[in-house]
Amino acid sequence: MDKSEGAGKEATLWLTLRKNHLCRKRDDDVIDKIESISVPNNLTTSPIHAGEKKRKRSKASSTKEAREEGEEEANIDFDDQLLAHRLRSGYNSLTLPHILRIFSARQLYTIRLGRISPWSGTSPLSTDHSHPGEAGTDHLLTSYSGFALSSEDATPFTEHALMHLYRNPSLGKARYTWIHWARRVSAWNNSADREKCADGIVTIQFEQSWSTWRILFAMGMAMALSVLSVLLWVLLGVSPWALPERRGRAERVEGGVMLGVFVMLMQSVVLAVWIALSWMSG
């Protein structure tokens, strides 16, 4: 049994956000915002936060209804599915609302373990885990989809598996594999091993990257609109002189090309602003 299971209190997981997964040895792109989620010691504890419980119970029309509602909430199993939902809620707090993320040039790339220092005035700790032994996290999470170095090192706790659960919370219904893993992460932050790592705490780190398909789609739309503006001007534009239809179209080709170039330049500015805002907003 994990220490966190017998401690009689909730396990706390810290969440951080890294905007550029390609610069794992740098810490200047870690957003200065940290969130936390809790994993209850009792698997039948309601996943609803205390503040939400209070608001719901205040709406109950009688003490009996409030008591029945509390009993119903207490019977909800805290499984891997609910853990995934809490991770999603934590990520929403760290970054843009879901509706705005749809139009962002960035997307969630992976979920991994990171380390930060909880003390003011100290340098950020490296989150480069290319050397797991130096990271001091007791092999809590395997990089990527895992490495079958030996039968002893085989583990279901991989970055890809965690990301898969995050994207498909229903896969964790009535399963408690990642619940026990979350308690191990929380227990490590309260163990003597943490003192060997310059007092750094382990966090669940969300890493973002540029969305290639969104950027290419935006560039393709810009190109298509430029070509469309040229065709519309050539086919439907009005010539300054009264010319036959065929000659009029030929005269409008030059103006159409200039219009297409202007439209492309304007859309390039819009794309640049869109990418810059996506980076600054995280």
Are 197 and 250 contacting, i.e. CB atoms less than 8 angstroms apart?
Answer: no
Q: What is the per-residue pLDDT for 282?
A: 63
| Shared domain check, 243 and 143 | no
- Domain-embedded: residue 57: no
Whether 202 and 225 share a structural domain: no
Based on the structure, what is the number of domains in the chain? 2
β 106-116/201-210 pair status: antiparallel
In a domain, 56, yes or no: no
Residues 128 and 142 in one domain: yes
Residue 101 falls inside a structural domain: yes
Residue 60, burial from CB neighbour count under 10 angstroms (0-12, 13-18, 19+): middle
Residues 230 and 159 in one domain: no
Task: Please check whether residues 237 and 202 belong to one and the same domain.
Answer: no
pLDDT, tens digit, 9 for 90 and up, residues 181-239: 999 998 888 775 665 555 678 899 999 889 999 999 999 999 999 999 988 888 876 66
Same domain for 206 and 218, yes or no, is no
Does residue 53 form part of some domain? Answer: no
**Residue range of the domain that includes 100:** 3-43+78-210
Contact partners, residue 16, CB within 8 Å, separation at least 6: 30, 31, 33, 34, 94, 114, 116, 203, 204, 205, 206
pLDDT value of position 128 = 47
65 part of a folded domain: no
Give the per-residue pLDDT at 72: 46
Low-confidence ranges of the chain (pLDDT < 70): 1-8, 21-32, 44-75, 121-138, 146-154, 192-199, 237-251, 282
Same domain, 192 and 258: no
Judge if 197 and 258 occupy the same domain: no
For residues 151 and 190, membership in a common domain is answered with: yes
Q: 3-class SS at 107?
A: strand
The answer to whether residue 193 is domain-embedded is yes
Reduced DSSP (H G I as helix, E B as strand, rest coil) percent helix, strand, coil of the chain, to 5: 50, 15, 35
Do 90 and 180 lie in one domain? The reply is yes
